[in-house]
């Protein structure tokens, strides 16, 4: 059986995980998407996976353009992306195959996918990561007529798909209210590469980072390593992180440790916040950004003492995939509390601490790091809570939840 997997290959490990799991199940996979970063070796060299790379569309930056110009440029980019995507899908989808498409983006990806699937008589499965209209509302505002139009189109297109996966129970419930149909809940789990590091390896990684990022306190273990994996998108609140860093620097006494905070990843807002971080002139907080290649990234997470999740969720219905990575590495998380949906994976005081303001973030860090490095009682309790949750890995959950939807009848 042939399955076409369509998604953002650079920023969506979930779609790469889908491709690998499908290939391991015996399917021939046509992987279509934008490759902004180098693909993992196991994807690029798998004989069952054929990769079709699309040219990334130019980004219309809302903060740099007047709204009418932004809409015009974004519309033109959507037309160009639609033409490229239409050609790629027309060449890869055959009658009887299945097409798995990530949503968002709704326009043009979901619209083109539905059209080609119907013409080719293929099954269309939507993997709902979030809601496209909610992401667009971050740029244009929730009352903008274009946002209302995209919401109506998203609902209409979703109803015409053959099957659905959803990253959370809350999102699946919203899709049911839309009349889209029953979505199988398939939450992100950590991949096999994300594992706790032995103490010796953690010290080695911290020592390497101390030299690379000019963080001398990491080498001797006196400074905790906080990591925030990110894609630098509009629904991540780095303003709040900057404010909390200033508060820690000004208010927290010398009995508390200095902080080393590393924000990883690439994305449209990275340069903007690198400039802001550099202008803060902090004394007891070091803010760094870094891009880490596959393999290096997993070891880096394993060396972290605490994770930071600044995801606000445009819809309030999705779950941050980076938290699964951190949990897989046995790293507890301090997370922005954007609503009840987060409780599906984060339990206050057991595997995570939650905050809503910069002051609350400072208090969470103070509590978690009290007694660091030798007597951080709460931090160790959070680590134990994380360890209880990470026995099931991505492949195990995929076999139970996603495989029956994507390749029905396959049991091997």
> What residues pair up with 333 in beta bridges, in sequence order?
307, 352
Cis peptide before 73 (omega within 30 of 0): no
- Spatial separation of the C-alpha atoms in residues 33 and 50, rounded to whole Å: 11
Kindly state the DSSP code that residue 110 receives in the 8-state scheme: I
**For the residues of 49-100, what is the DSSP string, one character each?**
EEEEEEPPPPP--GGGS-HHHHHHHHHHHHHHHHHHHHHHHHHH--TT-EEE
- Spatial separation of the C-alpha atoms in residues 32 and 19, rounded to whole Å: 10
Strands, E, within 210-249: which ranges?
225-229
> What residues pair up with 123 in beta bridges, in sequence order?
98
Terminal alpha carbon distance of the chain: 14
pTM over 0.85: yes
Query: What is the number of other CB atoms lying within 10 angstroms of the CB of residue 177?
Result: 7
Element containing residue 326 per DSSP (H, E):
helix 321-328
Query: What is the number of other CB atoms lying within 10 angstroms of the CB of residue 198?
Result: 10
Q: What angle do CA 108, 111, 115 make, to 5 degrees?
A: 130
Residue 57 has a pLDDT of 59
Residue 55 has a pLDDT of 74
With CA atoms as reference, report the closest residue to 264 among 220, 314, 304, 317.
304
Beta strands 333-336; 306-309: pairing state = parallel
Kindly state the DSSP code that residue 402 receives in the 8-state scheme: I
> What residues pair up with 185 in beta bridges, in sequence order?
166
> What residues pair up with 2 in beta bridges, in sequence order?
28
Cis peptide before 409 (omega within 30 of 0): no
Kindly state the DSSP code that residue 258 receives in the 8-state scheme: P
Query: What is the number of other CB atoms lying within 10 angstroms of the CB of residue 89?
Result: 25
Residue 392 has a pLDDT of 81
Residue 139 has a pLDDT of 84
Provide the Cα torsion 296, 248, 285, 278; round to 10°.
100
With CA atoms as reference, report the closest residue to 288 among 236, 337, 230.
230
In order of their start, the domains of the chain are 2-189+393-406 (3.40.50.2000), 199-387 (3.40.50.2000)
Strands, E, within 116-192: which ranges?
123-128, 163-166, 184-185
Q: pLDDT tens string for the chain (412 positions)?
A: 899 999 887 667 899 999 999 999 999 999 998 876 778 888 989 999 999 988 765 554 444 567 677 677 777 777 887 888 999 999 999 999 999 999 998 888 899 999 999 999 999 999 999 999 999 998 889 999 999 999 999 999 999 999 999 999 999 999 999 999 899 999 999 988 899 999 999 999 999 999 999 998 898 888 999 999 998 888 899 999 999 999 999 988 777 889 999 999 888 889 889 999 989 989 999 999 998 887 889 999 999 999 999 999 999 999 998 999 999 999 999 999 999 999 999 999 999 999 999 999 999 999 999 999 888 999 999 999 998 877 788 999 999 999 999 998 766 5
Would you call 248 exposed, middle or buried from its count of C-beta atoms within 10 A (0-12, 13-18, 19+)? buried
């Amino acid at each position: 059986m042939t399955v076409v997997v369509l998604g953002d290959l650079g920023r969506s490990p979930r779609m790469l995980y889908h491709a690998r799991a499908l290939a391991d199940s015996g399917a021939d996979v046509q992987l279509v998407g934008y490759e902004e970063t180098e693909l993992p070796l196991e994807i690029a060299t798998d004989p069952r996976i054929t990769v079709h790379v699309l040219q990334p569309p130019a980004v219309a930056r809302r903060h740099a353009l007047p709204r009418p110009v932004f809409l015009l440029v974004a519309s033109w980019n959507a037309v160009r992306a639609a033409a490229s995507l239409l050609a790629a899908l027309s060449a890869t989808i055959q009658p009887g195959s299945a097409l798995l498409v990530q949503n968002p983006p709704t326009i043009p990806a979901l619209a083109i996918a539905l059209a080609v699937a119907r013409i080719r008589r293929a099954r269309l499965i939507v993997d709902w990561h979030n809601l496209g209209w909610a992401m667009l509302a971050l740029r244009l505002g929730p009352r903008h007529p274009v946002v209302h139009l995209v919401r109506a189109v998203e609902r209409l297109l979703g109803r015409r798909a053959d099957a659905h996966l959803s990253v959370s129970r809350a999102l699946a419930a919203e899709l049911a209210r839309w009349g889209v149909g029953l979505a199988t809940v398939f939450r992100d789990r950590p991949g096999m590469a994300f594992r706790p590091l032995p103490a010796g390896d953690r010290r080695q990684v911290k020592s390497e980072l101390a030299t690379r990022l000019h963080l001398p306190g990491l080498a001797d273990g006196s400074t905790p390593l906080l990591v925030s994996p990110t894609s630098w998108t509009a629904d991540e609140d780095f303003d709040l992180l900057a404010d909390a860093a200033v508060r820690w620097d000004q208010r927290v006494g010398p009995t508390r440790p200095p902080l080393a905070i590393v924000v990883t990843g690439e994305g449209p807002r990275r340069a903007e916040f690198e400039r802001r971080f550099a202008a803060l002139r902090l004394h007891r907080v070091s803010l760094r950004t870094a891009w880490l290649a596959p393999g290096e990234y997993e070891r880096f997470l394993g060396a972290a003492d605490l994770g930071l999740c600044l995801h606000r969720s445009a819809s309030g219905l999705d779950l941050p995939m980076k938290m699964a990575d951190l949990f897989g590495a046995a790293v507890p998380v301090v997370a922005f509390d954007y609503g009840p949906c987060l409780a599906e994976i984060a339990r206050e005081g057991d595997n995570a601490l939650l905050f809503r303001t910069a002051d609350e973030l400072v208090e969470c860090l103070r509590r978690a790091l009290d007694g660091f490095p030798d007597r951080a009682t709460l931090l160790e309790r959070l680590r134990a809570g994380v360890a209880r949750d990470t026995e099931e890995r991505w492949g195990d959950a995929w076999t139970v939840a996603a495989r029956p939807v994507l390749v029905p009848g396959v049991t091997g």
